[in-house]
Structure 1
Amino acid sequence: MNFTDLGLRAELLRALADAGYTSPTPIQAKAIPTVLEGGDLMAAAQTGTGKTAGFTLPLLEKLSRKEVPEGKRPVRALILTPTRELAAQVHDSVRTYGQHLPLRSTVVFGGVSINPQMMKLRKGVDILVATPGRLLDLIQQNAVTLREVETLILDEADRMLDMGFIHDIRKVLAMLPKQRQTLLFSATFSDDIKALADQLLNKPDLIEVAPRNTAAERITQVVHPVDRQRKRELLSHLIGTGNWRQVLVFTRTKHGANRLTEQLQQDGISAAAIHGNKSQGARTKALADFKNGRVRALVATDIAARGIDIDQLPYVVNYELPNVPEDYVHRIGRTGRAEREGIAVSLVCVDEHSFMRDIERLLKAQVKKQVIEGFEPDPTIRPEPIQLGRKPAGRNAPRAGNPRSGQRANSGQPGNARRKPANGNQPRTASRGRR
């Protein structure tokens, strides 16, 4: 199948050809005709499957079929994303595919001045990409109205729930026309997502392009057992001896990301950190330096890494395992994209054995274990409690704090409460900054 078979206009096909694309991915082949038919859609697709084009292309096609309104243009399509980086990435796709069309678009998110965003919105745009917090700020300042939105897209809805955006989402929904098309994209069809979809969608088509919660087949996964105090030494050893030029490293906390970045720099490895406490300018620079090769190691937390889109990223390292098994799948999904091979390495100490068992239970497979010579774990070291960054979401588990009001957010949706960690400590929820 080619894009020419999907009912897209010549201007979109030209933009696709300019970008070097001729054949749709499975999610695109299924989603594009469904969106063009006008019905609601609930789609599950892992990172790197081409889902962004799966909704931007038909969105641009639909908007182009109507005459551009005279005077100030109202927002006709709203795309909500959980993070600044993902919002910027989605808007880049809108501009890339819509470059030959007379449609206007813009992106708004926190961490930068609101005034330029207000000026763009007051001139009028057809497509608005936004994070929930900044969008509500702009609405309160009368910079934008959502009364004429025809299509709402929730991208990475599962992460928006995890980050406590449910209250903001509901506020936005209350401002939208009841007659609209709603598209919900998520990495998985979790119980929370199904409950949200029941509230938002009207008899949606369901698309799932990969088995639920499975890691990409193109990713080689390996676990290197190592003592907790020697993880940084082993990471530097792997990067140096393997001549890794581009590696995304995950830590559980922002403080841990900063500390590891400094240690890698002391080892002579160019590194940068990206997390919620960094300014938007610092985050943008760190990501740009990583993409162009000036930085070999980008150290990130789970939230900040959402939206990092690097087609040829060769290595992902779990410096610290996540306590939520699904986060492991999200992390390693940053590599093995665009039909390329990827390597996912996990440095696992005795404290994290229960996390690894949970991950393998989710994957329904054991991950290969390989001890690196000279870094053999000391069998006499006993496990210690771990300070956790994000609590597994569940029926009785409080969400992270509401990014806008500081109030405790709760989706009010049913979910499967997960057990406490083996160390007996209830994970704490890290406070989130405004997105």
Structure 2
Amino acid sequence: MSDLKKLYEVVQQRNNGDKEFLQAVEEVFESLEVIEQVHPEKLDDDVLARIVEPERQIIFRVPWVDDNGVTHVNRGFRIEFNSALGPYKGGLRFHPSVNASIIKFLGFEQIFKNSLTTLPMGGGKGGSDFDPKGKSDAEVMRFCQSFMSELYRHIGPNTDVPAGDIGVGGREIGYLFGQYKRLKNEFSGVLTGKGLTFGGSLVRTEATGYGLCYFTQALLKDNGTSFDGKTVAISGSGNVAIYACEKATELGAKVVTMSDSNGFIYDPNGIDLACVKEIKEVRRGRIKEYVETHPDATYTAGARPWQTPCDIALPCATQNELDLEDAKALVANKVFAVCEGANMPTTPEAIHYLMQNGVFYAPGKASNAGGVACSGLEMSQNAQHLSWTREEVDARLQKIMESIFETCRDTAKEYGHEKEYVVGANIAGFLKVAEAMKAQGTV
């Protein structure tokens, strides 16, 4: 039995039942087997054993009072996974599905994602099983203030810099930042995704969706094509999906689907993004409302959009949303590329099927790194007390995403797995972190 398989068994025993985390570790280890075969000297048992164990796991109670005076108690998490490359960096997710396994998988993925950006950021993640949907602004504010009343002890601009994720947008970041400032009596770059009036960065809202398209554009160009004239299927209708739709359309594609947790819309004329923004960002409504004003569009309840014929699929909703049956449908419809906008949205079986059938597949740790890359740029602006123009930030973001693609491509080729971008992403991300960990000793 190889050392990697032995270590994975140890990880399974220690994290019994944490299926999302184990899935993320297994995917990385599958790629590291390539190193084991080609350059075994680059795998260090000490580093491997440490990199799969978080440096710190914080779980805490979050009591808050609703508008009717009723007290509720949620659970808060912050997993500070690895600080070899810089302060812990990763978002906060507020969603009923949040548990330790999901936060650990997200934090583990974040280590390698942040490594690929080349910016000085470690990996971490956090959140709560609180659901902001249907809550008033006052209720969300009280929850955020309670959440930060514990989290503030563990974070700081040179220690741990959270950002937003599912359920945590500009409103939530503002409330969290205000409470941190009040408790610490300091104005610092402790959170990213802040409003533009108090230290935020231009393009941060759009960064994950734009970055996904910049990465995909680089992949398409390297394989002799482009977005121009392509049909694109997108899942989700949150921040990532909206701005992926916007940028893909700008680059010449026709986006025909978007979705939420209840179902998906299909518009053969191309998604009317202004309408989606009105529904999701202004009214906080459901995606099915789209068909009320678009007679050619259809809504399918309880389904995902992957049966829809498309050239490019961009899963931007949540983990494990694209399974083997979806992959078979995409292949049957001659999809060219699947690039992840969400974290681990494709199941392992689906990934293998796509790659075995010649579909170009890009893992989220590479293709959705635009959000954290722009967060890193926000950290730089905060540290220098500067504010860059929209054009400057967007140009830097595009350059970072193109560089990530080139790193994935070149590393995969170096290790004998040309065009297998998941292998390139995992190996390149791991080697940089491993080198830093070795240099810092057993800490």
**What is the TM-score with the length of structure 1 in the denominator?**
0.33
Greater helix fraction, Structure 1 or Structure 2: 2
**What is the TM-score with the length of structure 2 in the denominator?**
0.33
Higher-RCO chain (CA-CA 8 Å, sequence separation at least 6): 1
